Amino acid sequence: MFGLAAIAALMAMALVGASSAMAGSTTLCKKDATPCPTKEIVSSIHEVSVGKAKLLSTFLTVECDVLFSGTSLGTASPIVIHGNFTYTNCGSCTVTETSTSVLIKVLRTSHETAEVTGEGEVFVDCGGSSLECEYDGENLKGTGKGPLLSAQSPDNGEVSLQGQEVHKTGGGFFCPATSKLDIVTSPLVATSIVEGKTMDCVSTSVGQGSYTTDNGTTCSGEVALGTTGTFELIGG
């Protein structure tokens, strides 16, 4: 649809920008757990539109089914997701993503809630050169909800963006200069929005105290000064 670039601002879930609303970091997790166990962290993101994504303008409304696939960095403030959108069933129009990838940021703002922002570009062809349009979505804001707060079925979570403005960057004279985007997406697996925590390795058999691993997500069984033993990953 016209302005489907704005969909690049969503994610998934979770999909759901850099904001000062929350000082802590964010984790997308398969369960509502803080800290999120390493094996439950969602790093592969797949979301589908709930019904049709709609681009509304004074000239034409275009509707598409939308699929997003991307990867995240695990825990950050905000989480950065790189991925791509696929648009199908757009009626008489075709929609193609023209940016190499879209960039989406997700920042937890409260329990099971996040602010989602992003950027990306799409090319829309609705028949003839006068209706070949390119749109850019920048600084668009959506709201992400985890399974405990979303209204979807199955209740995997949602990202909602309503009435967000997108801008024409190229195309024929019939292409509106601006349009409004409405879209709701939901992840294919339950995705909770939890507060990120520092993960430490704690010795359970030798020595005492906490030992941080190189990557903060796994326990290698070896820490400073060559101490070895059995270690357990816990939240800091």
Which two tokens mark 21?
Answer: 């609303």
CA distance 149 to 158: 9
The predicted-structure confidence for 156-201, as pLDDT tens digits, reads as follows 999 999 988 888 898 878 888 888 888 999 999 999 999 986 555 5
The predicted-structure confidence for 66-109, as pLDDT tens digits, reads as follows 999 999 877 888 899 999 999 999 998 888 888 888 889 999 99
The predicted-structure confidence for 137-165, as pLDDT tens digits, reads as follows 888 889 999 999 998 888 999 999 998 88
CA distance 196 to 16: 15
At 219 the pLDDT is 53
- Compute the average pLDDT of residues 51-56: 88
Q: Tell me the residue length of the chain.
A: 236
∠ CA 23-25-27, rounded to 5°: 150
pLDDT at 125 over 60: yes
| pTM greater than 0.85 (yes/no) | no
Share of the chain above pLDDT 70, in %: 72
CA distance 26 to 3: 29
CA distance 194 to 185: 19
- The answer to whether 197 touches 185, Cβ cutoff 8 Å, is no
The torsion defined by the Cα of 155, 30, 73 and 4, in degrees rounded to 10, comes to -10
77-97: b (≥16 Cβ within 10 Å) or e: bbbebebebebeebeebebeb
Q: What is the mean pLDDT of the chain?
A: 77
More confident residue, 236 or 22: 236
